[in-house]
Amino acid sequence: MSDLRIGFIGLGNVGGQLAGNLLRHGIELTVRDLDPQRVASLVERGARAASSPRELAAGVDLVITCLPSPAVSAQVMEQPDGVLAGLAPGKIWLEMSTTDHAEAQRLAARVEERGATAMDCPVSGGCHRAATGNISIFAGGSRAAFERVLPVLSILGRRILHTGPVGSASMLKVLTNYLCTVHLAALAEAFTVAKVAGLDMNTTYEAIRISSGNSFVHETESQVILNGSRDINFTMDLVIKDVGLFEALAKDFEVPLELSPLVLGIFRDGARRYGERELSPNIIRRLEDACGVRVLGEGFPAQMVDDEPKIPGYEVVPRPHSL
């Protein structure tokens, strides 16, 4: 167990779950969020509340931010009473938001000017795995910094991958979120074709699950699609933000894209039709409305629940390169 005093800023769908895991493991925790109810919920469970990011950073050893956009992260870090103002030599900042790699590097440089250490540590796997501590974590930063924070990451997640320097983890998170979006758009099309063709949707789900068409997105999001709740605590505006980050990454490295603009257009159209805060699996509504059908199965859960037992997190080591 880590003996670091930890501060957590950003108690949304993922951040609130991660912060709760720290409390369950007896960590001395200080929290900050613009929503007072989210703060109060954790204070009732033993956390302290900070009146500003600066106050939080000044009173802890490790600051974690888990925020909705690069712009919000920059504001929380750089405002006059922001995190940077409270940092000092020996402190650590972990950026667990999904952010732009260049922005992570820029803020990391400012953190290091204060004598503190910076890492980008985005998470992947969904809110249901954040709740249990079984989420995966990408960690970008020096090896020495990684080993220092590994006890904390082992509480928060199950599989932890050291990805290289600061910024590398954010690049990989953007790549994986893009792939999830492609899979979701493809599943919406496949399910609607199956429904219109008269196939049983439970049988369709199993056929995909046991075949080469399977994916993590199918095993999770397909279930709430077929239930009808479409609830994975992720919305279309966040999809558009994430795919936009992927496109910006590709542009930075002059990689021409073909699928990404199509997928981004699909979700922008979904946001126009149903609202930016519509749940992202409801992208299937575009096809349901066009075909006059409702794509549902029987016996699927309304929300995903992680039934894997929590074990201490461990480092995932990449396979060695063949010579």
pLDDT per residue over 260-291, tens digit each?
999 999 999 999 999 999 999 999 999 999 99
Retrieve residue 105's tokens.
């590097």
Is 173 known to be catalytic?
Answer: yes
In order of 14, 163, 252, the CA distances from 170 in angstroms are 16, 9, 14
Q: What's the pTM value of the predicted model, to 2 decimals?
A: 0.94
d(CA 5, CA 99): 25
Kindly name the residue from 91, 173, 251, 310 that is annotated as catalytic. Answer: 173
CB 32 within 8 A of CB 38: no
What pLDDT was estimated at residue 1? 47
CB 308 within 8 A of CB 130: no
What pLDDT was estimated at residue 321? 66
What pLDDT was estimated at residue 34? 96
For the segment 53-66, what is each residue's pLDDT rounded down to a tens digit?
999 999 999 999 99
d(CA 173, CA 110): 22
Q: Nearest 5 degrees, angle CA 56-CA 13-CA 251? A: 90
**CA 58 to chain CA centroid, nearest Å:** 26
Could you tell me which of 265, 260, 258 has the C-alpha nearest to residue 283? 265
What pLDDT was estimated at residue 322? 58
For the segment 77-93, what is each residue's pLDDT rounded down to a tens digit?
999 999 999 999 999 99
Report residues of the chain scoring pLDDT below 70. Answer: 1-2, 321-323
What pLDDT was estimated at residue 28? 96
